[in-house]
């Protein structure tokens, strides 16, 4: 069987793409998951033309009107660029069977601070929200939620089932 392809926040694979030039390499992804799945690295901030290093962004606004704006310079607003990139990515992601995102990221997180606070229900990052809205059945997870073998195995099982469903198996 062909390995399922999953999108992964590039920083989790050791790519130095974070705003501060760092990464968040995850050993489980590189040691275990790479044997089971094929990774498609994604960094929305880099894809929309923000360099490394770059100004940090945060989510601001209200639950109905969320923006990704600069932490130091609130006039920096990359919301529309991230949304457009996510829509383009969702449109060409028919061969992906899942996504693993970096938590707390204003573009990729599944539970991100809005105006400095975590809310209920959780606020998703700009990119991850669009991906989830456009591909609601696609398995997604934050790397931080894959804390033990059981959670990792459950996610991989969901990915494999999704791959079977899109391939008509």
What does the CA dihedral 7, 102, 54, 42 come to, rounded to 10 degrees? Answer: 0
Tokens 């028919």 — which residue? 94
The string of pLDDT tens digits covering residues 13-23 is 999 999 999 99
36-73 core/surface letters (b: 16 or more CB in 10 A; e: else): ebebbebbbbbbbebeeebeebbbbeeeeebbbbbeee
Per cent of the chain over pLDDT 90 is 86
The string of pLDDT tens digits covering residues 35-88 is 899 999 999 999 999 999 999 999 999 989 999 999 999 999 999 999 999 999
Q: Which of 81, 90, 87 is nearest to 54 (CA)?
A: 81
> Within 10 Å of residue 21's Cβ, how many Cβ atoms?
11
Euclidean distance between CA atoms 163 and 169, whole angstroms: 8
Whether 7 and 96 have beta carbons less than 8 Å apart is answered as yes
Q: Which two tokens stand for residue 123?
A: 């606020």
Q: Which two tokens stand for residue 107?
A: 């573009």
Q: What is the pTM of this model?
A: 0.94
Q: Is the pLDDT of residue 169 over 70?
A: no
């Amino acid at each position: 069987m062909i390995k399922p392809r999953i999108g992964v926040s590039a920083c989790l694979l050791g790519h130095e793409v974070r705003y501060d030039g760092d990464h968040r390499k995850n050993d489980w992804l590189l040691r275990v998951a790479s044997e089971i799945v094929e990774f498609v690295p994604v960094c929305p901030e880099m894809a929309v033309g923000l360099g490394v290093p770059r100004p940090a962004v945060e989510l601001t606004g209200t639950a109905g009107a969320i923006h990704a704006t600069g932490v130091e310079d609130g006039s920096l607003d990359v919301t529309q660029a991230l949304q457009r990139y996510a829509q383009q990515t969702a449109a060409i992601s028919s061969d992906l069977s899942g996504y693993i995102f970096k938590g707390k990221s204003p573009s990729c997180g599944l539970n991100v601070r809005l105006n400095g606070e975590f809310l209920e229900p959780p606020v998703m990052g700009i990119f991850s929200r669009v991906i989830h809205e456009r591909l609601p059945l696609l398995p997604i997870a934050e790397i931080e939620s894959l804390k033990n073998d059981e959670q990792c195995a459950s996610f991989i099982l969901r990915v494999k089932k999704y791959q079977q469903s899109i391939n008509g198996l």
